[in-house]
Amino acid sequence: MKKLLALTLSGAMALGALTACGSSATPNASTAAGGSAAATTAAGGSSTATTAAAGAATSGSGEELVLGTGGTTGTYYAVGGVMATVLNPLMKSSHLTVTSTGASKANIQLIDDKDADLAIVQNDVMYYAYTGTDLFADEGKYETFSAIAGLYDETIQIVTTDPSIASVADLKGKTVSVGDAGSGVEFNAKQILEAYDMTFDDIKVVNASFGDSADSLKDGKIDAAFVVAGAPTTAVVDLATSKDISLVQLDDDHIKKLQDKYNFYTATTIPGGTYKGVDGDTKTVSVRATLIASNNVSEDVIYELTKAMYDNKDALAQGHAKFETLDAKAAVEGISVPFHPGAKKYYEEQGITVD
């Protein structure tokens, strides 16, 4: 199976549905060729990957498509497992084999190395790869992949326990966690501060995972933290049970300024009640977990996959809550790289124009 190390698992793993990207997760874990997978937090890390057939699931028909996801406790992995479970029996020209990886950056490298055919990545990270900027500034452009669909939002949440911090501007002079060093979260934090005419020089920067950031907020070691994940996020939910928290809101003018420069951001509202004690809606922005494909995969294969995904969105949503918001019109928003010809063909049949 390509150059990936094959393992064997028995039994099916339980499904969950919590957070998404940003912090690191163990990449050397298992996968499903047609079974289900576990979900909690996200993944991002090394470019190694391993794969396995789960339970007694058959390999499916047609061409094997290796789908790079994230760590085995991550949402990407769980989402991929549900896709394999639901879609493999329905597709004639291909079947999915889900592999656990180091998430967004690693997945783009795996596709470039021909070790994966499909992957789930953050749309901002794929933009950096396609343009050879930020996370990929040292490596240069990666143009061996194209987009299929934006799947769901990964929301920028600025969490604080300091009631004096009501806006991004109020972060000036404060101690702020901006995610792991070199992570997509760190770049999100830089870009949002930039929209408010600030830089990391205006804050006291701490690099930490979501869990460590929540612990530091609880202990009063930091004033605020950037968290980029599906809301509600487990680490923030847990924090809100022991501390009074608030979410820092972005205003419309600064959201527009941010989007004018970085069109992969979409405006988002975190509903009141998402976290204990945060009763009002919070306006912010999101990046999107996006399904991409190698340009080497044929138009017909990706067309069938794309059509099967939308035709069976209810079954996918029964397997994982992240698919509840899957919508063809929304799926093309915030995508700043070309679409695969197979996906483009499907969207055009639906009256949706894509580049």
pLDDT tens digits along 45-104: 333 343 433 322 345 679 999 999 987 867 889 999 999 999 999 999 999 999 998 888
Q: What pairs with residue 8 in β-bridges?
A: 53
Q: Tell me the HSE value of 9 on the side-chain side, using a 13 A CA sphere.
A: 21
**pLDDT tens by residue, 244-300:** 999 999 999 999 999 999 989 999 999 999 999 999 999 999 999 999 999 999 999
Q: What pTM was estimated for this model as a whole?
A: 0.76
Whether residue 352 has pLDDT greater than 80 = yes
Element (H, E) at 347: helix 341-349
**In the structure encoding, which two tokens stand for residue 22, read together?**
């940003």
Residue type at 19 in one-letter notation? T
Name, in order, each residue with C-beta under 8 angstroms of 56's C-beta and a sequence gap of 6 or more: none
Q: Cα-atom radius of gyration of the chain, to the nearest Å?
A: 20
As a whole-number percent, the residues of the chain with pLDDT over 70 amount to 83
**Topology of the domain covering 155-287:** D-Maltodextrin-Binding Protein; domain 2 (3.40.190)
Q: What pairs with residue 284 in β-bridges?
A: 268
Please compute the mean of the pLDDT values over residues 316-335 and round it to a whole number: 94
DSSP 67-80: EE---TTSHHHHHH
**What pLDDT was estimated at residue 21?**
43
Superfamily of domain 5-152+289-349: Periplasmic binding protein-like II (3.40.190.10)
**pLDDT tens by residue, 188-222:** 999 999 999 999 999 999 999 888 999 999 999 99
**In the structure encoding, which two tokens stand for residue 6, read together?**
């094959």
Phi then psi for 221, rounded to 5 degrees? -85, -25
Residue 218: count of CB within 10 angstroms of its CB: 15
Q: Is 298 helix (H, G, I), strand (E, B) or coil?
A: coil
Write down the mean pLDDT value for the chain. Answer: 85
Measured in whole angstroms, how far is the alpha carbon of residue 240 from the centre of its chain? 23
Whether residue 146 has pLDDT greater than 60 = yes
**What pLDDT was estimated at residue 103?**
80
Domain residues of the chain, as ranges? 5-152+289-349, 155-287
**Residue listed under structure tokens 């340009």:** 295
Among 31-45, 162-176, 213-227, 303-317, which stretch is predicted with the lowest mean pLDDT?
31-45
Q: Is 310 helix (H, G, I), strand (E, B) or coil?
A: helix
Residue 157 in contact with residue 164, Cβ under 8 Å?
no
Please tell me if the domain spanning 5-152+289-349 has the same topology as the one spanning 155-287.
yes
**In the structure encoding, which two tokens stand for residue 140, read together?**
């240069």
**What pLDDT was estimated at residue 60?**
64
Whether residue 230 has pLDDT greater than 90 = no
**pLDDT tens by residue, 13-27:** 333 333 334 333 333
Whether residue 42 has pLDDT greater than 60 = no
